[in-house]
Amino acid sequence: MRDTASKKSKKLNRSPVTTVFFAIFLLLVGAFMALPVLYAFVSAFKPMEEFYLFPPRFFVKNPTADNFVLMAQLMSNMWVPFERYLFNTVIMSLSSTIVYMMIASLAAYPLAKHSFPGKKMIKSLILTALMFTTAVTGVSQYVIMAWLKMINTPLSLFLPSLSGTMGVFLCMQNLSVIPEEMLESGRIDGAGEYGIWWKLVLPNIKPVLATMCIFQFQAVWNQTGGLLIYNEALKPLAMALSQITSSGLSRAGAGAAAALLLLIPPVFVFVVAQSKVLETMVNSGIKG
């Protein structure tokens, strides 16, 4: 009751000027963060003569859909149909995101709620791995994939996408606030550890699962495969679009259209998952 009264008093003590100031500040920050998305949308409808104007023009004066027509023509002339590239990327993105959320939450559960030999060392390795980017681990991943004879197979993209430790770290931090009494009640009712993870742990870490969904889907959707995929029928959509738009300035419009096409699914996933994060944080708090 005291906490509720103190929150109400803080709201009542806030002046209208302060409220308006914070609203304007947040509006400006939101507009600044939306500029890259808006610019990608505008560029997709720019005619060729407006791409290289100086000074650069943010808004398009004569919008056109010719960029999408050119992109479709270029895709139709490729050896593999467009639907194949899209299928590869969709299947890889969805499967990798779902499997990664399961693996990260399963790994974090014993690290956060159980004691066993080597626990501190594993936690240290997880924190250390956060400092290494894909550019640093690219060579070692290629060597491992070559040793396992997985080059030019879907596994060369799928397995490395599951190696990030950010999801495990986020789950461990989120699991630390789950009361031990809740897990113990599950054990008393006869649930095993996998049953506790499925019925008690996962429902209470929905915000962090939604966060992992955003980051993992975005990372996998935008991966090109690099030197790991040579078979044209196995290449993801991002690599196919980069190939058709990297042949000179005459394809800048098609490149902008392709960038917008690649941007739409991650933005959609972000909007859906972000709303889930807010809904879960408001409506499903843990009550001790």
Q: Please report the domains of the chain, with CATH numbers, ordered by start residue.
A: 16-64 (no CATH), 70-283 (1.10.3720.10)
Any idea which residue has 């791409």 for tokens? 51
Residue among 70, 73, 75 nearest 46 (CA): 70
| 265 cis-preceded (ω within 30 degrees of 0) | no
| pLDDT tens column, 155-182 | 988 998 898 888 899 898 888 888 888 8
| pLDDT tens column, 102-121 | 999 999 999 988 888 988 99
Band (pLDDT 50/70/90 cuts) for residue 250 is low
Burial of 137 (0-12, 13-18, 19+ CB in 10 A): middle
Any idea which residue has 């070692």 for tokens? 140
Spatial contact of 47 and 59, defined as CB atoms under 8 Å apart: no
Residue 94 has pLDDT above 90, yes or no: yes
Cα distance between residue 49 and residue 97, in whole Å: 40
| pLDDT tens column, 49-70 | 777 777 777 778 888 888 888 8
Band (pLDDT 50/70/90 cuts) for residue 229 is confident
Residue that wins the pLDDT comparison between 247 and 176: 176
At residue 283, the pLDDT reads 46
At residue 287, the pLDDT reads 44
Cα distance between residue 156 and residue 159, in whole Å: 6
